[in-house]
A and B are shown apart, each in its own frame.
Chain A
Amino acid sequence: MEVLIQILNGVQLGLLMFLLAAGLTLTFGIMDLVNLAHGSLYMMGAYIAWTFIGWTGSFVLGALLALPATFVLGMLVEIVVMRRLYARDHLDQVLATFGLILFFNELVRAVWGPDGKSIAVPGFLSHTIQILPGVPYPAYRFALIAAGAIVAILLAWLVARTRMGMLIRAGASNRRMIAALGVNIELLFTLVFGLGAAFAGLAGLMAAPIASVRIGMGDDILIVAFVVIVIGGIGSIKGAFVAAMLVGQIDIAGRAFLPDLLKTFLSPASASAAAPAISQVLVYVLMAGVLVWRPTGLFGQRP
């Protein structure tokens, strides 16, 4: 069942996108911060994991070490740069975070070298499992889906049931108010940013065995993450989830089925060249459509 496999791939991509988008939509919604460097944190997560995996020889151990490292890195970035940007207008934020992207890309090049790295799929996950009789699916991808789902549920629980989550939701809807309530805003922002960074890093290291680890790997996917949160509505985790799932399905379906569709009226060479371009375009068409219908996204705050 080709379709089932592609749907699962779409879910897997969607969950990955959600991890990336969740942190982004939080910093947008609560801190009103345009953070272009979020993709750099995705990249750092993958590179740091590569280093730890190399040291420990174990994928799981390396990943477990990389997560808090990315969390700390995120908090560092917040303290050094981001917190000075909250009061600035979006243009300044775009400029500053753009500078951060250049910085991180060069840093990675200086420390890890210009060549891409690869992280192997961990041994215990390199087989396939039969999700249905006769339908094999890579175990690693399945693990990704499981991990992504767990994180999504955890995040939903965090936001809905914990004190911090309540502060996050309150902050997303009225920033000034939570400051007036005597909450330590600075600490909250640092933690939220760090959390977002950890999620991004997690997405980066989980994607690495499938996608590769290279300089600038976060930059292109960052844009898709932005599209996701625009579709879902800035500041809304639920929106980010729904939009990420939508985008995941469309992207995968486009890649999987578009070439064959195009081959019916184009030459095979043109079809396989045009297909990825068009499937990328589909996502933007979706975004344009959503914005025409709802200018602040599916679950965004109405102005």
Chain B
Amino acid sequence: MRARTIVPALVLLLFAALPLLTQAFDQRYLLSVGTRIVIWSIAAVSLNMILGYGGLVSFGHAAFFGIGGYAVGILSAEGIESGWLQWPVALLAAIIWAAIVGALSLRTRGVYFIMITLAFAQLVYYLSSGLEAYGGDDGLNISRSRFGLIDLRDKASFYWLCFALLCASLWFCSRFAVSRFGNVIRGAKSNELRMTALGFPVFRYRLVAFIIAGALGGLAGILLANDGAYVSPAMMSWVKSGDLIVIVVLGGIGALYGPLWGAIAFFALEEFLQPILDLMHKGWGEYWQIVFGPMLVLVALHARGGIDSLLGRADD
């Protein structure tokens, strides 16, 4: 139990200090990796809410990335650069999309649900690649959102904003997990029929959870768009949705800090598999996914509680 409190605290502390550390050791590249880890963690937290806690295998979560990002991107391209205007609109777009997809998909079960969420994400993907005015397949370069208070072009400021939002997401998730609402969502994952028989209109609660998760995913998309000053349909390809699921499962389903562990592990693998393979044999590094793919198979077959379970048993 001790590890369970100490490790997250240390890691968060490390992340909080990252800009200072990378400055001190002149490792600016690490800061950009760190930023991406933080942003993806936020996305993973949002997916963890419905997938980890709720048991809803949504294979279209990257769509929220895209919607948040494109909303900001399109507004930016049209000359509306104020973040105060862009971000609420982007969040609203994500919420609306989540409401529509949720209303249609949550009535289906199991495999159908996976497929229909995937299909909806594909829909958005194709729509965005058809938007010639906004870059189509090639994507769109945009300028970052403007807020009077901070300059998002400053890497450290932007990082700290993302980190603050990650902390807020984690805080919300921790409250959600033990709240009345969270109980319903978790109960429905455990035994949906029972929850209905207890008197809970499960569909309604799941829809609300789906919308919240979608909004948070949209926020991650907004941050992603600002990170690279770029949006493209690739943001919401089904591969990205798959990557998100990998991150959540790797980190630990339904564990509070699971998304953080998963994102760190995922990016670490990407960064390190290549040089390791190159060390073994020159030129092999390029094909690191030949190793990564089977690794995922092994994780699926053997990693019951994800990285989080390495920290010892969770205490209720």
Q: Name A's B-contacting residues (CB within 8 A).
A: 28, 32, 34, 36, 81, 84-85, 88, 90-96, 98-107, 109-110, 219, 223, 226-227, 230, 234, 269-270, 273-274, 276-278, 280-281, 284, 287-288, 291-292, 295-297, 303
Cβ of B39 under 8 Å from chain A = no
CA distance A219 to B126 in the complex (A): 14
Report if A295-B112 is in contact (Cβ < 8 Å); known contacts: A91-B249, A96-B301, A99-B300: yes
The distance in angstroms between the C-alpha atoms of A292 and B290, with both chains bound, is: 40
Q: Would you give 19 A-B contacts (Cβ < 8 Å), ordered by A?
A: A28-B111, A32-B111, A88-B300, A96-B300, A100-B297, A101-B242, A102-B293, A106-B289, A106-B290, A219-B239, A223-B122, A269-B132, A273-B131, A276-B130, A277-B130, A284-B119, A291-B107, A292-B104, A296-B112
Contacts of A90 in B (CB 8 A): 57, 110-111, 114
Interface membership of B59, Cβ < 8 A: yes
Contacts of A99 in B (CB 8 A): 292-297, 299-300
Partner pick for A98 among B136, B242, B253, B288, CB 8 A cutoff:
B242
A280 to B121, CA, bound (A): 12
What residues of chain B lie closer than 8 Å to A94, measured between beta carbons?
57, 59, 114, 242, 245
CB <8 Å contact, A273 and B296? no
Pairs of residues from A and B, 4 with the lowest C-beta to C-beta distance, nearest first? A277-B130, A99-B296, A103-B293, A102-B293
Q: Write out the residue numbers on chain B whose beta carbons fall within 8 Å of the beta carbon of A291.
A: 104, 107-108, 112, 116
Quick check: A288 and B289 within 8 Å, CB to CB?
A: no
Q: How large is the interface on B (under 10, 10 to 19, 20 to 34, 35 or more residues)?
A: 35 or more
B129 on the A face (CB < 8 A): yes
B118 at interface by CB-CB < 8 Å: yes
| A278 and B299 within 8 A (CB) | no
Quote the shortest CB–CB distance from B302 to chain A (angstroms). Answer: 10
Neighbouring A residues of B136 by C-beta, 8 Å: 273
Chain A min CB distance to B66 (Å): 14
Return A201 CB to nearest CB of chain B, in Å.
20
The answer to whether residues A92 and B112 also contact, given A99-B294, A103-B293 and a CB cut-off of 8 A, is no
Q: A109 CA to B289 CA in the complex, in Å?
A: 11
Nearest chain B CB to A104 CB, angstrom units: 8
On whether the beta carbons of A303 and B109 are closer than 8 Å, the reply is: yes
Inter-chain CA distance A288–B112, complex, in Å, is 11
B104–A95 contact, CB under 8 A? no
Q: From known contacts A91-B249, A101-B293, infer whether A230 and B112 are also in contact, taking CB-CB under 8 Å.
A: yes
> Could you tell me which B residues sit within 8 Å of A by CB distance?
51, 57, 59, 104, 107-112, 114-116, 118-120, 122-123, 126-127, 129-133, 136, 238-239, 242, 245-246, 249, 253, 287-290, 292-297, 299-301
User: In the complex, are the beta carbons of A34 and B112 less than 8 A apart?
Assistant: no
Instruction: State the majority secondary structure of interface residues on A.
Output: helix
| Closest Cβ neighbor of B253 among chain A residues | A91
Contact A284 B301 (CB under 8 A): no
- A234 touching B294, Cβ below 8 Å: no
Contact partners of B115 in chain A: CB under 8 A:
226-227, 230
- Name the A residues within 8 Å of B123 (CB-CB): 280-281, 284
Nearest Cβ in chain A — how far from B297, in angstroms? 4
Chain A positions within 8 Å of B51 at CB level: 91
Docked-complex contact A288 and B104, CB < 8 angstroms: yes
**Complex: A101 Cα to B39 Cα, angstroms:** 25
Closest to B238 in A: A223
Query: Does more than half of chain B's interface fall in helix, strand or loop, or is it mixed?
Result: helix
In whole angstroms, what is the CA distance A95 to B292 when docked? 12
- Report how far A281 CA is from B290 CA in the complex, Å: 33
Option from B59, B114, B293 in Cβ contact (under 8 Å) with A100: B293
| Chain A: minimal CB distance from B270 (Å) | 12
Minimum CB–CB distance from A163 to chain B (whole Å) comes to 28
- Can you name the residue of chain B whose Cβ is closest to the Cβ of A80? B297
The distance in angstroms between the C-alpha atoms of A91 and B112, with both chains bound, is 13
**C-alpha spacing A94/B55, complex, angstroms:** 13
C-alpha gap A227/B117 in the complex (Å): 11
Cα distance A240–B122 in the bound complex, in angstroms: 20
Interface pair B300/A103, CB less than 8 Å apart: no
B130 proximity list for chain A (CB < 8 A): 273-274, 276-278
Chain B neighbourhood of A85, CB < 8 A: 300-301
Roughly how many angstroms separate A288 CA and B120 CA in the complex, as a whole number? 9
Complex: chain B residue closest to A288, CB-CB: B104
A105 to B242, CA, bound (A): 15
The winner among A109, A284, A297 for most chain B CB atoms within 10 A is A284
CB distance from A231 to the nearest CB of B (A): 10
Q: Looking at A101, A103, A110, which has the most chain B CB atoms within 10 Å of its CB?
A: A103
Most buried by B among A81, A85, A92, A94: A94
> Which B residue's beta carbon lies closest to that of A269?
B132
Distance in angstroms from A31 CB to nearest chain B CB is 12
A280: B residues at CB distance < 8 A: 122-123, 126
- Report the nearest A residue to B249, measured CB to CB: A95
Task: Write out the residue numbers on chain B whose beta carbons fall within 8 Å of the beta carbon of A227.
Answer: 115, 119
Q: Assess A91 versus B245: contact at CB under 8 Å? Given A103-B290, A274-B130.
A: yes
Give the nearest-CB partner of B130 in chain A: A277
A110 close to B112 (CB less than 8 A): no
Cβ contact within 8 Å between B116 and A287: yes
Whether the Cβ atoms of A287 and B300 lie closer than 8 Å is no
Across the interface, name the chain B residue whose C-beta is closest to A91: B57
CB of B186, distance to nearest CB on chain A (Å): 16
CA distance A103 to B290 in the complex (A): 5
